[in-house]
Structure 1
Amino acid sequence: MTHANPRPLTLSARGPLRGAIAVPGDKSISHRAIMFSALAVGESRIEGLLEGEDVLATAAAMRAMGASVERGDDGVWRVHGVGVGGLLQPEGALDMGNSGTSTRLLMGLVAAHAITVTFTGDASLSSRPMGRVIEPLSTMGAEITASPGGRLPLMVRGRTPAIPIAYTLPVASAQVKSAVLLAGLNTPGITRVIEPVPTRDHSERMLRGFGAELTVEDSPEGKVISITGEAELQPQDIVVPGDPSSAGFWMVAASIVPDSDVTIRNVCMNPTRTGLLTALRMMGADITELARREVGGEDVADLRVRHAPLRAITVPPELAPSMIDEYPILFVAAALAEGTTVARGAHELRVKESDRIATMAAALSAAGVVLEEHDDGLSITGTGGAPLPGGARIASKLDHRIAMSMAVAGLVAASPVTIDDVSPVATSYPDFFATLDALSE
């Protein structure tokens, strides 16, 4: 998972993108489906699981702690869980590869079990701070020894019984929220998370589906999510909808490549995940929702996207939590819009797989885009639909979303764009380039 052999790729402008596609299963939901199934007693079945490296790291970790997690020849994953409180001591360190979600959520699980686990990861993940998760889990009684700067490798010695807490999120982070709730699953009493700014709520929806006693209430301080500990989770049959973050690349690509017409099937439309859709529509994108429905407690729709001229906007900062992973591809849309787009309120981008603000600023500048970097985002002056100059070699910084975003930029560049390493794309979207080729035929 360390991407020891870089895979450079050069992309050139090509004709319209046309066709109907399905994107991989939602990454956030896939992680949680594996984890929660591994904590239930009995067999759960998962269809549509994202089989990228990040989710496979979660599956391997749950196996190492006693669960049976296997993929059938029919593509359905079957998980036999160990029950809440039943995680076993793994024989060795858990290699999380590039997955921050796996690391932070599993730290929460381990924190309330009587086991000691060492977490390791690749160079990118090992550069990401874990302090925001260490703080509340330590308050609950876990002993956590981290590398300098609160980074991996780190060791979590869980405590049983852990101490229930009421924790106000200092930053909008679904991962921190989920880590505390997962620690609360095996903690006597009620653990509460106060969320001043709403973030994606997949953990809450799915935990309730598995039978956890979880409530969400509004308060003057924000949403209060309460979970009653020592839970007994029941096995479930889960259908994972398409990942809106993965769909975002095609929403932007179809919007900026002339004469494109792409339908993206089965996209998760959870309202905490639709910020990019909202922003693109504000910019004038032609995106139609078809066959809206509910699948496994999540809103789902097919999205038809047709090329349309985009205009600059000031992105409402309150959209940031619902599109934090989609900012890199939004920056590409802004580079083709008419006028100057201001996209701020996204401090969180500084501590993703790469510093996504600095990395995208460097990449787009190399491709000829006029922009200004801020501490919390970018201001980008677009071409008004004219091709980007291109002719650049882009450093992806081991970041899958940077690689895919700049691949989309290459589709509208006057001169070819070379990405130094596209191998990290396998962490979330193994078939990305095959899908691009299929849409270009």
Structure 2
Amino acid sequence: MENRMIVRVPGDKSISQRALILATLAEGESRLRGVLPSADPRSTAAALRALGADIPPLPADGAEIRVQGRGLGGLTPPEAPLDLGNSGTGTRLLLGVLAAQSFSSVVDGDDSLRSRPMARVTDPLGAMGARFEWLGAHGRLPLRVLGGPIGGIEYDLPVASAQVKSALLLAGVAGRVPVGLTEPGVSRDHTERMLRGCGVSVITHVRDDAGRRVELRDPPTRLTPLDIDVPGDLSSAAFVLLAGLLGVAPSGVTVEGVGLNPTRNGVLPLFERMGARLEVEPAGEAAGEPVGRITARPGPLRSIAVDESDVTLAVDEIPSVAIAAVRAPGRTRIRGARELRVKETDRIRALVVNLRALGVEVEEVDDGLDVVGTDAPLSGTVDPFDDHRIAMVFGVLGAQPGNAIEVLDPGCVEVSFPGFWSLLQELRDG
């Protein structure tokens, strides 16, 4: 096992986009290293530039960039609609920022982003006094944000959602108004951590019912600039770890410098419940986030039951769990994952359609799927439906020895993981 491969994955997509937004709103020069140079952060950076931000091109090697902040009141009206491409995170977080500006702006995206629900963000923002005008289908992009003064809010989120929570917190920061939020579960806390890094007092309470209370009691008058290293993306690392578990990398694989945020690492206990041979080694912090190295070695897997409490901390990694289940004897049951239906594509449907095309026994339900494990060689063609995560999980399955799977539109992985296919080939080659 000493010959296992040691790799790094690109910077965290969620943290990269938050860093770009907060660096723009800060006063002074922020220094950001390891920003993910993929399509989604590039779209967010382009939208911020259109709002007056001075953000240099995102370097392919993650080298340091310096962003001169505009301050909380320094954004300027865009001359054209803001095109967020395929970035749901960038869109929803910017809606919070734009709601409190003194000008109007139009937000749009590609066909995939236009199909994703936005009312979950605009409804609570509307309760703060923000105004929106739908320019197409109600609840979908494009929409016009009619900026203006907003008020504070006390809001119970119907589901735990980092994007909704972050949009409301950023609206509170940009509008200088208090925000109190209650979540029924635990969602990613990247925004809270990064706001604290900018000098903002964000208070978090864990509730007796396993929910969480987040408060912005004293809105800041300014944000201090950031000086951070963006950790490796655990969602991207999940594909590499999956490759290690399935024997794509025969001697196993170690991912270094990856984020280990406890509100984000839910895929690790799921893999371990499946019998995965994982070793997690903490190694300090980066950007206020715990980081470390994770090693995955091949070995037998077993079927498990996944419920909503598991999904909350691993929603983007559930496709990796479903693919691991293909090689786990018995029936793996995934429930409480309805959120997967409103991602870049309907990921539940995409998994079911493509697994059936490969001859895997699978059952689709409204909020999940059942996968029956098999040890048979798998072959066929997979359509990822322009979804980067669907393409990558089937790419890993196709790289497993004995399988012959073609993934259509492999370029869609550029949204989050530039260089994925070459890294996968390196893992296969050992």
State the distance in 1 between where 2:20 and 2:123 align: 25
State the distance in 2 between where 1:192 and 1:300 align: 29
Q: 2:204 aligns with which of 216, 238, 256?
A: 216
Q: Is residue 357–residue 373 contact of structure 1 (8 Å, CA) maintained in 2?
A: yes
Q: Is residue 191–residue 226 contact of structure 1 (8 Å, CA) maintained in 2?
A: yes
- Offset of residue 439 of structure 1: 1.9
- Offset of residue 291 of structure 1: 4.7
1:409-428, CA deviations, whole angstroms, 9 ceiling, x for partnerless residues? 11237452122212210010
Q: CA RMSD in A?
A: 1.7
The code of the aligned residue for 2:238 comes to G
- Offset of residue 18 of structure 1: 4.6
Q: Find the counterpart in structure 1 of residue 121 from structure 2.
A: 133
1:47-87, CA deviations, whole angstroms, 9 ceiling, x for partnerless residues? 11111010011111111111111148782111111111221
In structure 2, runs of 5+ residues without a counterpart are none
> Matches of residues 391-402 of structure 1 in structure 2 within 5 Å?
392-402=380-390
1:342-390, CA deviations, whole angstroms, 9 ceiling, x for partnerless residues? 111111001000000011110111111111111111111101xx24422
In structure 1, runs of 5+ residues without a counterpart are 1-16
- Offset of residue 129 of structure 1: 1.2
> Matches of residues 70-219 of structure 1 in structure 2 within 5 Å?
70-71=56-57, 75-146=63-134, 147-160=136-149, 162-219=150-207
Whether 2:235 is the aligned partner of 1:245: answer yes
Higher relative contact order by CA 8 Å / sep ≥ 6: 1 or 2?
Answer: 1
Q: Find the counterpart in structure 2 of residue 52 from structure 1.
A: 38
SS of corresponding position for 1:119: strand
| Change beyond 3 A, Cα 1:434–1:194 | same
Q: Find the counterpart in structure 1 of residue 17 from structure 2.
A: 31
Q: Is residue 129–residue 151 contact of structure 2 (8 Å, CA) maintained in 1?
A: yes
> Matches of residues 234-273 of structure 1 in structure 2 within 5 Å?
234-257=224-247, 259-273=250-264
Q: Find the counterpart in structure 2 of residue 375 from structure 1.
A: 366
SS of corresponding position for 1:155: strand
With 70-79 and 17-26 compared, the bigger mean Cα shift is at: 70-79
With 27-36 and 225-234 compared, the bigger mean Cα shift is at: 225-234
Q: Find the counterpart in structure 2 of residue 7 from structure 1.
A: none
The code of the aligned residue for 1:250 comes to V
| Change beyond 3 A, Cα 1:72–1:329 | closer
The code of the aligned residue for 2:312 comes to P
- Offset of residue 317 of structure 1: 2.6
State the distance in 2 between where 1:132 and 1:388 align: 42
With 140-149 and 393-402 compared, the bigger mean Cα shift is at: 140-149
Q: Find the counterpart in structure 1 of residue 341 from structure 2.
A: 350
SS of corresponding position for 1:113: coil
Q: Is residue 47–residue 239 contact of structure 1 (8 Å, CA) maintained in 2?
A: yes
SS of corresponding position for 2:72: coil
With 104-113 and 418-427 compared, the bigger mean Cα shift is at: 418-427
SS of corresponding position for 1:433: helix
SS of corresponding position for 1:102: helix
1:298-331, CA deviations, whole angstroms, 9 ceiling, x for partnerless residues? 1111111110110001124311111000111111
State the distance in 1 between where 2:270 and 2:55 align: 38
State the distance in 2 between where 1:206 and 1:429 align: 23
Q: Find the counterpart in structure 2 of residue 337 from structure 1.
A: 328
The code of the aligned residue for 2:304 comes to I
- Offset of residue 149 of structure 1: 3.6
- Offset of residue 97 of structure 1: 0.7
1:219-255, CA deviations, whole angstroms, 9 ceiling, x for partnerless residues? 4573221113353100120110000000000111110
Q: Is residue 130–residue 147 contact of structure 2 (8 Å, CA) maintained in 1?
A: yes
Q: Percent of aligned positions with the same letter in both sequences? A: 44
The code of the aligned residue for 1:288 comes to E
Q: Find the counterpart in structure 2 of residue 325 from structure 1.
A: 316
1:196-221, CA deviations, whole angstroms, 9 ceiling, x for partnerless residues? 21100000000011011221123457
| Change beyond 3 A, Cα 1:243–1:89 | same
Q: Find the counterpart in structure 2 of residue 11 from structure 1.
A: none
| Change beyond 3 A, Cα 1:387–1:49 | farther
Q: 1:417 aligns with which of 405, 419, 428?
A: 405
| Change beyond 3 A, Cα 1:406–1:61 | same
| Change beyond 3 A, Cα 1:295–1:360 | same
Q: Find the counterpart in structure 2 of residue 4 from structure 1.
A: none
Q: Find the counterpart in structure 2 of residue 233 from structure 1.
A: 223
Q: Is residue 368–residue 388 contact of structure 1 (8 Å, CA) maintained in 2?
A: no
Q: Find the counterpart in structure 1 of residue 280 from structure 2.
A: 289
State the distance in 1 between where 2:66 and 2:58 align: 7
State the distance in 2 between where 1:225 and 1:248 align: 28
| Change beyond 3 A, Cα 1:72–1:327 | closer
The code of the aligned residue for 1:389 comes to L
Q: Is residue 10–residue 232 contact of structure 2 (8 Å, CA) maintained in 1?
A: yes
The code of the aligned residue for 1:116 comes to S
The code of the aligned residue for 2:141 comes to L
SS of corresponding position for 1:272: coil
State the distance in 1 between where 2:357 and 2:416 align: 25
The code of the aligned residue for 2:183 comes to E
